[in-house]
Amino acid sequence: MKYYLLIALTAFLAIYSQAQIGDPYHSWNFSYGRTGTPGDQVKIGLEYSNDAKYSFLTEAGLELSRYKDIRYSSISLGLTGRYYLVGNTYMTSKKKINVMAGLGGVIQLENESSVYKSLPTSKRMNYGVSGQLLGEYFYDPTLGFFIAGEQKVLFNETLGKYNYSFYFGIRIHFGNNQ
């Protein structure tokens, strides 16, 4: 029941961010990173903004981990609101640097053969909140490179409450840049 509420909240925030009045800015984010399980993580995201200091990021991720006899995987969907501490969404700063902090929600479908053996999908769903801190260098107004850290606090504690990751990526901008 709780993850249905998180899905509804994510959909509402995504629709709300699309409905704002202003000059829209969009970017695709592609990233690769390492998690604390230890594991590999890949993400693809779409960032949207109408304001120079705020943006919304919707992203999907895949995490694969193998440690001794444990084989863990998860597919996630998240929505994050970001605030630009340094720079702006339009990539027009003379320093070519952006620093962002983000807070959002995440839903993930987890799979680990010994823990979730023969459980239905609804019992393998996990949800929680996430926080991000990112640093970005932009080469030009359409291309940026970033490094980030993310901490998740998950509500289903079967495989642990905290999940962190560090990743790097590329951001490709399209739409209207100021």
Assess contact for 33 and 167: CB atoms under 8 A.
yes
Sorted by where each begins, the domain ranges of the chain are: 2-19+27-175
- Give how far Cα 142 sits from Cα of 47, 136, 178, Å: 13, 13, 11
Best CATH choice for the domain 2-19+27-175 from the list 2.40.160.20, 2.40.50.430, 3.40.50.11540, 3.10.20.90: 2.40.160.20
Please, what is the Cα angle at 89 between 84 and 95, to 5 degrees?
Answer: 75
Q: What is the pLDDT of residues 50-59, one digit of tens each?
A: 777 888 999 9
At residue 21 the predicted structure's pLDDT band, cuts being 50, 70 and 90, is: very low
Give the confidence band of 169 by pLDDT, cuts at 50, 70, 90: very high
* Residue 159 pLDDT > 60: yes
pLDDT in tens, 100-113: 999 999 999 988 88
